[in-house]
Structure 1
Amino acid sequence: MEKDLFHTIVTVRGLTENLLNQIPEQIVDIIPDGFNNNIRWNFGHIAVIQEKLAFEALGEELGLPYEFVTYFAAGTSPNNWDKSVPSLDDIHSVLTEQKSRIQSKLKGRLNEALPSTLRINRLISLTTVAQTLQFSLFHEGMHIETIKNIQRLIKLKV
């Protein structure tokens, strides 16, 4: 199971990185009607939530720049950003590095219990490292689709 899960993390992250490489910089900060965030926020958010699910849920330190949490955590908004928001290159570097760090730090630990149950909502409770990583794949997929939807909407208006 471990080999398969890590393979899926690398595969899904590869899709995310490939999408990031295809999006023109001039559209990443547009927030279309009906959306709360932009493309840059969604990519940064993927990195922050993956980090929180993989490491913070275990009580370990986050391995990404502090400003990522400031700009991209749940509940944040591009409407409150200043001019020092991380660049796409910064986000890409974090996304790329994160997948290998997850594998190296969590190898052999998938069945490890979290210090306390992580409740996502009233229906989802996670208790092991494997469960947090599996949920992170679902989360990343949702945001990949959101990014594609924002991109489509922007293209329709241009």
Structure 2
Amino acid sequence: MTQFIYNHLKTVRSITENSIMRIKEEFADLIPPGYNNNIRWNFGHIVYVQELLAFQLSGIEQQIPETFALYFSAGTKPANWIGTPPTIDEIKEEMQQQNERIQKINQSRLAEKLSVPYTNKGGITFYTVGEAVLFSTYHEALHMETIKRIHQENKNRSQYC
């Protein structure tokens, strides 16, 4: 059963990686009316939250740059950024490396209890590493839908193709 989980994680991340490959740097920061964040923020947020859920909660050292927390953690938004956020290429690279690291997590760890249960902003509590990791695919899909909507909205507004 655990191999199915790893295959699912790999499939979801493959979809996300294919999407980020099509984003040009100059279009990553457009924010259409009605949105708080841009495409860059959503991709960076996916990486940041995946790192939290798959590694930090289970006591595995995080390996993404600290700047990801500054720019992409929950509650952040481009309007409040100070400095230069990671480029799309840097986010792509972290995303690919993260996927490789996730695939190497020992399958027996998925059943491990977290030292402290973790409750996310939506009120969902995770008790095991596996629960947190599985939720990350749902979270990633939500942000992929937002990325698609932002992209479509910008296309409709003729800002880019």
Q: In 1, Cα distance between the equivalents of 2:122 and 2:83?
A: 37
Greater shift in the superposed pair: 93-102 or 116-125 = 116-125
Q: In 2, Cα distance between the equivalents of 1:123 and 1:34?
A: 25
Greater shift in the superposed pair: 55-64 or 9-18 = 55-64
Q: Deviations over 1:50-85 (max 9, x none)?
A: 000011112332110111111111111111223421
Once the two structures are superposed, the pairs formed by residues 129-148 of structure 1 within 5 Å of their partners are 129-148=129-148
Which structure 1 residue ranges, 4+ long, deviate > 4 Å from structure 2? none
Q: Deviations over 1:88-126 (max 9, x none)?
A: 110000100101101213432110000111112565211
Residue in structure 2 matched with residue 39 of structure 1 by the alignment: 39
Count how many residue pairs are aligned between Structure 1 and Structure 2.
158
8 Å Cα contact 1:114/1:128 also seen in 2: yes
Residue in structure 1 matched with residue 94 of structure 2 by the alignment: 94
C-alpha displacement at 1:6, in angstroms? 0.7
Once the two structures are superposed, the pairs formed by residues 6-155 of structure 1 within 5 Å of their partners are 6-121=6-121, 123-155=123-155
One-letter amino acid of the counterpart of residue 20, structure 2: L
- Provide TM-score, normalisation by structure 1: 0.95
5+ long unaligned stretches in structure 2: none
One-letter amino acid of the counterpart of residue 80, structure 1: N
RMSD: 1.3
C-alpha displacement at 1:25, in angstroms? 2.3
5+ long unaligned stretches in structure 1: none
- Provide TM-score, normalisation by structure 2: 0.93
